Amino acid sequence: MADDRQLGLEQFLRRLMVRSRLSAAQQQAIRSLPGRPEHLRAGHDVIVPGEHTDESCTVVRGLMSRFDMILDGGRQTVALYLPGEMCDLHSVPVPTSGWGLETLTETTVLFVPHEALRALTHDASLALALWRDTTVDGSVLAKWVANMGRKQAVARVAHLLCELGVRMEQLGLGARTAFALPVTQAQMAEAAGMTSVHLNRTLKTLADAGVSFTRGTVRIADWQATAHLAEFDPAYLLLPEGKQPSV
């Protein structure tokens, strides 16, 4: 369990340092955060809308989603979270959740107390690093809204896969053209805002264009062509100059 805490914090630090320069002492402050690892089954609700929390959670292994809940009980996925990403850092200033968090796979989660995260903000550079992280989260959410509202199915799914490829690459979890995505087609359909049947047809069209999703693995044969099809501009991921993928 201690190893899971250390792994989760090391992964989170790596994500922060993609966009923020931190001194050795500041890096150690992240590594020294207290945390409570938990191993959760797939389909577990970590938090539901309206619930109060005193902790933020980081994915150590597996995959999580943020969702909104509809009155009829249906759910709409509005974000996916990969290992090293803190799903609800924004709950530190606003601890009553307006969203839900669910594990999509068997997942190891590290719960970090808000009190410890707030203590980090006494250092202005660490506060800015955490602020940047929540800004990226908001930027990704805005892009998802635009994609689901304005793009046709093929471009929408291609954009989702391009985004996940770049994020996986930045976190050291694969290449943008080949990465593990252990979700079902139903889960991917929910993230793309379409039915499973429509997603299945869309994936067949993408397969003809050299983009495959089989047995939990995504492969993109021609990155530039797929990025063009998706109208994928990675600027919204707020990566610093030199770390932006070419499209």
Structure tokens at 62: 């597996």
Among 30-34, 54-58, 239-243, the range scoring the smallest mean pLDDT is: 239-243
Range of the domain at 175: 152-237
Report the C-alpha gap between 109 and 39 in whole angstroms.
6
Whether residues 89 and 119 share a domain: the answer is yes
pLDDT at 10 over 90: yes
In 97-209, beta strands by DSSP E: 100-103, 107-113, 174-175, 178-180
Whether residues 19 and 130 share a domain: the answer is yes
Check if the beta carbon of residue 216 is closer than 8 Å to that of residue 201.
no
Whether residues 160 and 132 share a domain: the answer is no
* Three-state secondary structure call for residue 226: helix
149-165: average pLDDT: 95
Whether residues 11 and 130 share a domain: the answer is yes
* Three-state secondary structure call for residue 110: strand
Count of structural domains within the chain: 2
Whether residues 128 and 74 share a domain: the answer is yes
For 64-104, the pLDDT digits (tens) are: 999 998 777 778 899 999 999 999 999 999 999 999 999 99
Phi first, then psi, for residue 99 (nearest 5°) are: -145, 175
Q: Bridge-partner residues for 51, per DSSP?
A: none
In a domain, 147, yes or no: no
For 187-207, the pLDDT digits (tens) are: 999 999 999 999 999 999 999
In CATH, what number is assigned to the domain containing residue 165?
A: 1.10.10.10
Express as a percent the part of the chain with pLDDT over 70: 97
In a domain, 108, yes or no: yes
